[in-house]
Amino acid sequence: MSFKFIKFTGLIFVFFACRDPKVIPNISSQRIPIEKSIKPKPSIKNLIKPYKLHIEKSMNEVLCYSINAHSKKEGYLNTAIGNMMADAVFELSAPLLKKRYGLDLDVVLLNHGGIRASLPKGPIRIETAYNIMPFENEVVVSQMKGSVVMDLVNYLRTAKRAHPISGMTLKITKNGELGLLKIQNKPLDLKKTYNIATSDYLHNGGDRMNFFKKNDSVFRLDYKIRNILIDYFGSQDTLKPRADMRFTYTKKR
């Protein structure tokens, strides 16, 4: 597992007074950059060694294989890796939503920026899931009227970015006009209530997806997106994700 984003660690010294009432007379801290010039302390290295070996063994477990490598930069409005992630969230979240709340899932929407690494060719390990999704984001399901779903569609239409979707077909013109919209192969019904799965980060307005705040109800599945990837990879033998026609430009301008 790669900890690319950790650059500093810190030491906080707390001194307690030996008198009543107990107070903290002084607090000091020191910022220590994590860099190659710092030599590991043997006693600390030996202390964490068994834990390090255990984590490395777990992270290296092979779950399945991928025919090709896939990057989120491969497509314009949908990508192979993004489609795989959205479909995995749909496949594993839908039965849980049905069992826990008796509801049918309609759409999954994730964000392009949330894909933090490429899918490699060859063995897919637990570490792969951590690299692709290093955050602790969980799946939440937002229940919204069709009119609010239209705000979601307009967001995608104007963003013109490969935000991963599943359960929805969307076509826009080169000028950004809506050409086709279907949810579960049916036209959008503005009066109907839809169940949209997303991450808790996006549900709280991340990536300016403020339309999620207009929800009627929210249902939590207690299922991390990273764990969904691990479970999905473990259920597959060979990954063959591909870009398709779920979110595309029309030929008309």
- What is the tens place of the pLDDT at every residue in 145-158? 999 999 999 999 99
Indicate whether 236 pLDDT > 90.
Answer: yes
Q: How many H-runs (helices) and E-runs (strands) does the chain carry?
A: 6, 14
Q: How far apart are CA 227 and CA 233, in angstroms?
A: 10
Phi, psi angles (nearest 5°) of residue 135: -90, 165
Q: Where are the domains of the chain?
A: 64-249
Least confident segment among 44-53, 113-122, 124-133:
44-53
- Whether the pLDDT of residue 250 is over 60: the answer is yes
Residues pairing with 108 in the sheet: 166, 197
Give the number of other CB atoms < 10 A from CB of residue 76: 12
Look at residue 21 and tell me whether its pLDDT is greater than 70.
Answer: no
pLDDT at 5: 43
* CA dist list (Å): 248 to 72, 93, 150, 172, 220: 15, 25, 17, 7, 31
Position 14 pLDDT exceeds 70: no
Residue with tokens 């509801």: 103
Rounded Cα gap, residues 87 and 165, in angstroms: 8
For residue 11, pLDDT over 90 is answered with no
Q: Running DSSP on this structure, what letter comes out for residue 74? A: S
Q: What does the pLDDT read at residue 157? A: 94
Closest CA to 142 of 87, 206, 197: 197
What are the two backbone dihedrals, phi and then psi, of residue 189, each rounded to the nearest 5 degrees?
-105, 110
CATH architecture of 64-249: Alpha-Beta Complex (3.90)
Does residue 203 register a pLDDT over 60? yes
| Comparison of pLDDT for 56 and 9, the residue scoring more | 56
Residue-by-residue DSSP string for 74-109: S-SS--HHHHHHHHHHHHHHHHHHHHHH-----EEE
Which pLDDT score is estimated for 35?
Answer: 84
What is the average pLDDT value for the chain, to the nearest integer? 91
Of the candidates 148, 152, 142, the residue with the CA atom closest to the CA atom of residue 218: 142
Nearest to 63 by CA among 119, 135, 108: 119
Of the candidate ranges 17-26, 86-95, 104-113, 148-157, the one whose mean pLDDT is the lowest: 17-26
Q: Check whether 6 has a pLDDT greater than 70.
A: no
Measured CA to CA, the distance from residue 222 to residue 198 in angstroms comes to 12
Q: Which pLDDT belongs to residue 193?
A: 98
pLDDT of residue 2: 44
The β-bridge relationship of strands 138-145 and 217-224 is antiparallel
Q: What is the pLDDT of residue 17?
A: 52
At a CB cut-off of 8 Å and minimum separation 6, what does 142 contact?
A: 195, 196, 197, 198, 203, 212, 215, 217, 218
The pTM assigned to this predicted structure is 0.84
**Mean pLDDT, to the nearest integer, of 154-165?**
96
